Amino acid sequence: MAGSDPFGHRFADQGLLAQALTHRSAGAPHNERLEFLGDALLGLVAAEALYQRFPRADEGALTRARAELVRESTLARIARRLDVGPRLMLGPGEMKSGGHRRDSILSDALEAVIAAIYLDAGFAACRIAVLAWLEPELEGFEINKVGKDAKTRLQEWLQGRQRPLPLYELLGESGDEHARTFVVACRITEPALASEGEGGSRRAAEQAAAAAILEQLEGPR
């Protein structure tokens, strides 16, 4: 991978990039330690970008916005844009189960690449690359609309009107042990509404179901 690559950085040490793209299922050296370092670097760059872009935002709004920027689904979207999936080194089991498409694996690899750039060329180079990745996410970003998660918002909507709290029910789960899919129903009684949500964890499925109920309650936002 000579010359400039899709990550916006020319690696002097190609071994660092190779390690960053190696999942633990493919053996050592893998990317878990790099992921740990990259997570911290990403948090710093994202915090600085938000601090500079939104000079009037308070700490709470900035904290919520940073959480939105560095969440797994956002990082996986960036990783797909950078074509990380086809570059991953995975073990046979992960390859067979489509690990190169999984949000958790993609987001972890992206954080590892951040650390690899930092170790290869220092913080300035790392910051430049990461800011370029974040720019499409920040374009049109409305910090005051980044709020609490769907379950919290739904609960507060109901409590504010002195109505019964929602009920969540696990309807089913499927898939391999390392790639489960959960389906959850969310029901409220006043008004009588029900919706289903799906996710890679029970919590994620509950959030999706709550978000669907909120859409019905609040209409287009």
d(CA 107, CA 74): 8
- In the annotation, is 39 catalytic? yes
Active site residue: 94, 111, 120, 206, which one?
A: 111
- In the annotation, is 111 catalytic? yes
Give long-range contacts, CB 8 A cutoff, 24+ apart: 61-66: 61/143, 61/144, 61/146, 62/143, 64/146, 64/147, 64/148, 65/141, 65/143, 65/146
**CA nearest neighbour of 150 among 192, 193, 102, 197:** 197
d(CA 3, CA 97): 32
Active site residue: 32, 39, 149, 198, which one?
A: 39
Is position 108 annotated in a ligand binding site? yes
Which residue ranges make up the annotated binding site? 35, 108, 111
Catalytic residues: 39, 111
Which residue ranges make up the annotated binding site for Mg(2+)? 35, 108, 111
